[in-house]
Amino acid sequence: MMDDILISAISWARQAGAVQMRYFRSPELVINTKFNVNDVVTQADKESEALLIRQINDTFPDHAILSEESGDHGKNAAEYRWIIDPLDGTANFSSGLPMFCVSIAVERNGEIIIGVVHAPYLGETFHAVKGMGAYLNGNPIHCRATASLDKAVVSTGFPVDRNVNPDNNLDNVARVLPLVRGLRRLGSAALDMSYVAAGYLDAYWEMDLHQWDVAAGELIATEAGAVCRSFRDNRNYSVMVATPQIEKELFKHLV
């Protein structure tokens, strides 16, 4: 069963990525908003989601689904649940920037057991199975062994309500920026976490995320040796992912 689910998840992530590439940098792309002007959705999000939900329902009809655009599907008591973000990084995608991906996680009895993150423009497919390591395009990956925060390149993100809520991560950025070699804002939580897993980044943090943003990326990162911690309990999923050597030092600067 595990092999069938993993093979399916990777295949369907690539199919959804192909849908996105048909719209990417296209003048026909229609862009709408959800929560506010910062929260973007496109027909590529919706078509990718429809493809994934259809494939899951057709192949695994007893499995439940949690998806960003349409919420819960299936039985709440199902043994397996798919947690999908059909297009993570929609603001990048809608602007023609290549940092976007499909994120798929599979949960069994409440535990994430499979994570797949596929970045179609970049040709990068990350995956992990609980207890079996993390991989990029089929090759094993491990987080970087950066010795100290001053040698680290880290990334972050900002909540969609940042224009009206002063609890918007700027205080954390002000504390961390002087301490690190570089600070980046990639715009896709799933890719940020996967890049920590691959050793391209040393750490990532963000507040006010959702389960579909982090489920696959957290498994990939932890299977690659990174540490995942929650640093807030009042802003949905607020997570830090970091290499073991710097996680304690970084964590103490986040509130």
**Mean pLDDT of each 10-residue bin along the chain, 255 residues long:** 93 98 90 58 90 96 88 80 96 96 97 98 98 98 96 96 90 98 98 98 97 97 98 93 98 95
Q: Which residue segment(s) compose the domain that 192 sits in? A: 149-251
Say what the pLDDT of residue 127 is: 98
Question: Kind and range of the H or E element at 136?
Answer: strand 134-136
Q: Which of 220, 218, 216, 225 is nearest to 243 (CA)?
A: 225
56 with 176, same domain: the answer is no
Which domain-ending residue is among 92, 121, 141? 141
15 with 124, same domain: the answer is yes
173 with 49, same domain: the answer is no
117 with 71, same domain: the answer is yes
Say what the pLDDT of residue 39 is: 52
Say what the pLDDT of residue 34 is: 53
135 with 154, same domain: the answer is no
pTM: 0.94
User: Residue 174 and residue 89: Cα distance in Å, rounded?
Assistant: 24
Token pair 């750490």 is found at 203
Say what the pLDDT of residue 231 is: 95
133 with 19, same domain: the answer is yes
106 with 163, same domain: the answer is no
14 with 45, same domain: the answer is yes
Say what the pLDDT of residue 23 is: 93
74 with 104, same domain: the answer is yes
157 with 121, same domain: the answer is no
77 with 39, same domain: the answer is yes
- Output the domain CATH number for residue 93: 3.30.540.10
Token pair 């600070």 is found at 183
Q: How many residues does the chain have?
A: 255
- Output the domain CATH number for residue 165: 3.40.190.80
137 with 153, same domain: the answer is no
